[in-house]
Amino acid sequence: MNGSGGRRVSANLALSLDGRYHGPGGPGDFGMFLPYVATDVARDQLTRVWEGATTAVLGRVNADGFLGYWPSVADDESADPRDRGYAKWLVGVEKVVLSTTLTSAPWDHARVVNAPAAEVVTTLRAKGEGDILVNSSPSVIKPLLAADLIDRLCLMVVPEIAGGGPRLFEDGLPGTRWSLTHQEAGKLGESALVYDRVR
């Protein structure tokens, strides 16, 4: 439950020290994150963010990538149990995919919605139970931040400066206050941070 009533909306994203979610080479420029994604701190953070969530909200690009990769992990008995836990959750959970180009969802337990992120999440928040998780979809997270609809912000900060690429926190966001509710540092210098919106 969030401070303004309804379901809690959580957002999860990895960032460089200079606040970027990919590098200057474009959306596929994730090299700075690769050394850190399989650490204990990163895996524990991923488990922390999906536990309690009953709806996943994704942009279409992330849905394509995630649902093309994670189902095979769910069936892989040699995979890390935390990875398998997330994979099984993602396969079985209600998924809402925001897209202006798809007309139907090619994935199980998924539906496509062509509407602004803030409108979709406001509707989801008003009904049902459990958290709503926006996982690694900056195209969805950014408009939700602008509309002050995020209640929990889960960040993995890696000790690298990208030097270019888009930032999560752009000028013009509403001023908000957050409380640090979890922090953990890994051996490689990565930090898992969880902030809850103070309302």
**What is the edge-to-edge ordering of all strands in the sheet holding 191-198?**
110-113, 94-98, 53-59, 131-135, 9-15, 152-157, 191-198, 177-185
pTM, full prediction? 0.93
Both structure tokens of 160: 């690298």
Q: What is the pLDDT of residues 143-157, one digit of tens each?
A: 999 999 999 999 999
In a domain, 29, yes or no: yes
Tally of domains within the chain: 1
In a domain, 4, yes or no: no
Per-residue model confidence (pLDDT) at position 131: 97
* pLDDT of 2 over the 70 cut: no
Residues spanned by the domain of 78:
9-198
3-class SS shares of the chain: helix, strand, coil, % to 5 = 30, 25, 45
Helix (H) or strand (E) holding 185: strand 177-185
Choose the weakest-confidence range: 42-51, 63-72, 163-172, 185-194.
63-72
In a domain, 149, yes or no: yes
In a domain, 3, yes or no: no
In a domain, 82, yes or no: yes
In a domain, 169, yes or no: yes
